[in-house]
Amino acid sequence: MTRFLKPFVGFWLLLCCLAVLTDATYLKYQDPKQPLGARIKDLMDRMTLEEKIGQMVQIERKIATPDVMKNYFIGSVLSGGGSAPAEKATAETWVNMVNEIQKGSLSTRLKIPMIYGIDAIHGHNNAYNATIFPHNVGLGVTRDPELLRRIGEATALEVRATGIPYVFAPCIAVCRDPRWGRCYESYSEDHKIVQQMTEIIPGLQGAIPANSRKGIPFVGGKQKVAACAKHFLGDGGTTRGIDENNTVIDYNGLLSIHMPAYYNSVNKGVATVMVSYSSWNGVRMHANRDLVTGLLKNKLKFKGFVISDWQGIDRITSPPHSNYSYSVQAGVSAGIDMVMVPENYTEFIYELTRQVKNNIIPMSRIDDAVERILRIKFLMGLFENPLADYSLVNQLGSKEHRKLAREAVRKSLVLLKNGPSVDKPMIPLPKKAAKLLVAGTHADNLGYQCGGWTITWQGQSGNDLTAGTTILNAVKNTVDPATQVVYNANPDASFVKSNEFSFAIVVVGEPPYAETSGDSLNLTISEPGPNTIRNVCGNVKCVVVVVSGRPVVMQPYVGIANALVAAWLPGTEGQGVADLLFGDYGFTGKLARTWFKTVDQLPMNVGDSHYDPLFPFGFGLTTKPNKY
The answer to whether 146 and 161 have CB atoms below 8 angstroms apart is no
What does the pLDDT read at residue 421?
84
| SS3 labels along 219-286 | CCCCCCCECEEEEECCHHHCHHHCCCCEECCCHHHHHHHHCHHHHHHHHCCCCEEEECCCEECCEEHH
Three-state DSSP class for residue 395 = helix
List of residues 6+ apart from 237 with CB closer than 8 A: 174, 176, 177, 247, 249, 257, 258
* Long-range contacts of 602-605, Cβ-Cβ distance < 8 Å, separation of 24 or more: 602/177, 602/178, 602/179, 602/240, 602/241, 603/176, 603/177, 603/240, 603/241, 605/176, 605/189, 605/190
Amino acid at the residue 198: T
Indicate the CATH number for domain 413-615: 3.40.50.1700
C-alpha to C-alpha distance for 347 and 556, rounded to whole angstroms: 54
What fold does the segment set 51-356+370-395 form as a domain? TIM Barrel (3.20.20)
C-alpha to C-alpha distance for 41 and 110, rounded to whole angstroms: 14
Helix axes 345-357, 324-334, angle to 10 degrees: 70
C-alpha to C-alpha distance for 593 and 74, rounded to whole angstroms: 42
Dihedral sign for Cα 449, 452, 456, 460, please.
positive
What does the pLDDT read at residue 24?
56
C-alpha to C-alpha distance for 437 and 435, rounded to whole angstroms: 7
Where do the CATH 3.20.20.300 domains begin and end in the chain?
Answer: 51-356+370-395
C-alpha to C-alpha distance for 143 and 592, rounded to whole angstroms: 8
What does the pLDDT read at residue 628?
56
The answer to whether 331 and 308 have CB atoms below 8 angstroms apart is yes
Q: Which residues are part of the catalytic machinery? A: 309, 515
Q: Which of 226, 150, 223, 202 is nearest to 392 (CA)?
A: 223
What is the residue-wise DSSP string for 22-90?
A: HHHH--GGG-TTS-HHHHHHHHHHH--HHHHHHHTEEEEGGG--HHHHHHHT--EEEE-TT--SSTT--
C-alpha to C-alpha distance for 66 and 4, rounded to whole angstroms: 55
Where do the CATH 3.40.50.1700 domains begin and end in the chain?
Answer: 413-615
Q: CA-based Rg of the chain, rounded to a whole angstrom?
A: 27
Q: Which of 294, 328, 377 is nearest to 44 (CA)?
A: 377
The answer to whether 513 and 460 have CB atoms below 8 angstroms apart is no
What does the pLDDT read at residue 23?
47
Helix axes 399-412, 145-161, angle to 10 degrees: 150
Q: Which of 438, 466, 474, 504 is nearest to 576 (CA)?
A: 474
What does the pLDDT read at residue 53?
98
C-alpha to C-alpha distance for 441 and 573, rounded to whole angstroms: 17
What does the pLDDT read at residue 5?
44
The answer to whether 169 and 228 have CB atoms below 8 angstroms apart is yes
* Residue ranges for the chain with pLDDT beneath 70: 1-24, 628
602 CB-side CA count, 13 A: 28
What does the pLDDT read at residue 4?
43
Q: How many other C-beta atoms can be found within 10 angstroms of the C-beta atom of residue 564? A: 23
Backbone angles phi, psi at 248, to 5 degrees: -100, 110
